[in-house]
Structures are given as C-alpha cells and as structure tokens.
Amino acid sequence: MTTDFTPADEFIINNLETLKVIADPLRLNIVEYLAEPGTVKEVAEKIGKPPTKLYYHFNLLEKHGIIRMVDTRIVSGIVEKHYQATAHRYRLAHGLLSPTQVDQNLDVTISGVVGDIRNDVLDSIHAGVIDTSENAPAHKRLILAQSRAIPTPELAEEFYQRLQELMEEYGFNKREPAIPEGNQHLYKMLLILHPSNRGHKVKTPEHD
C-alpha cells in the first residue's frame, strides 16, 4: 500500500497532551528524521538505538497526528511500515501560552527543545561535523552565546524585521525539508529573542 501524501506546511499544537508528546528530545529527533519517509528500523539506525526502543514513541506520535504511515511493503514476508512527519514545521497555538498556562506549557516545550539540541550538538561534535578546535573554520564552529542590548522600541522593531529577512534570505524559514547534498551539512539554529524584565530599576514610592 502506498498513499499519495504531501506534508502540510504547518501543524498547530493546540492542546497540552500533544505538546507533551512532541516536546521530548527523542521524539523530536524522530520527527526530524521523518522529514522524508522512513521505517522504525531506519530511524533507529540513525539515532543509534534498537528499534524495540522506538515503537512506543512512533505509536504516540502517530496517535497524535504528528507522523503518519504513508507506505507498507512486504520484505522477507514481514510487513514494513514507512512513516513521515505530517508537516514541515510545528508551532504552538497562541492560546497554549496564555498567562494561566504559560509556566507549565513553556517549561515542557523548552525542556524538550533544549534537550534535543544538546543531544544533536554532542553527536555532531563526536562525528567531527562540529570542529571545536581554536582555529576551526567559521562554517564548522559552534556558536553558543548570550547577548544583551537596550535598543529603543523603534530599533528593536527594526532588528526583529531584519533578523526575519536574514533568516529567509539564507533559507532558515524554508518549509520544505532540508536535504544536504555533496559536502553540504544541515545547519540548525535555536534562537530565543525576547524583551526581558531583568535589569529594570525598581520604582520606590515617592514621599511628600
């Protein structure tokens, strides 16, 4: 059986149960490898885990519509199932970050994403894809930094806009899966940009 399946541009996560399913470092890794159709065995080989450790996670992801079965084949008398991510990108519904739920939901999201990035960085260092030597070429370096600035609201607005344009120019916002060719590598970026409440001066009561 083969289905004519095209992933959606975007999957909106609108409930906490689905958020908890996808916001797991291992399951995020599975979804990333399923940008193109793949089997449990194929993904397990890429992740470096036995297939038996992944069936539970595949079932959860499929149950919540994050991945779907797109093909089945008979290989040596065994049914081989192929799965694919249902969308090119996944986004939280704005309501999930409402003031009454933000602490729990954002904690789940950040913990999962940061855990997945950590695992990816370590794997890439061990594989030699990231060069940690002092004289590493720029395109093989790991950039890990925290920066601060105090721009005017107008400059902050301009920065957000120019950053968005730069990401689009270099293809970081492409919805199609990025497939490296030749000597290319997939580049990933976790960007957290936000106005901060830290550093504000505390207003003291005025006295007559």
Region class of 127: left (phi > 0), else alpha (psi between -120 and 50), else beta: alpha
Identify whether 89 is part of a domain: yes
Distant-in-sequence, close-in-space partners of 133: CB < 8 Å, separation ≥ 6? none
Mean pLDDT value of segment 25-49? 93
Whether the full predicted model's pTM is greater than 0.85, yes or no, is no
pLDDT of residue 156: 95
Strand partners, 79: 74
Side chain identity at 165, as an amino acid letter? E
Identify whether 41 is part of a domain: yes
Query: Is the pLDDT at 83 greater than 90, yes or no?
Result: yes
Identify whether 114 is part of a domain: yes
C-beta atoms surrounding 105 within 10 Å: 20
Query: Is the pLDDT at 75 greater than 90, yes or no?
Result: no
Identify whether 64 is part of a domain: yes
Q: Number of folded domains in the chain?
A: 1
Tell me, what CATH number does 14's domain have? 1.10.10.10
Nearest to 67 by CA among 79, 75, 78, 55: 55
Identify whether 96 is part of a domain: yes
Residue 126: domain span? 8-131
Identify whether 66 is part of a domain: yes
Mean pLDDT value of segment 124-139? 92
Query: Is the pLDDT at 177 greater than 60, yes or no?
Result: no
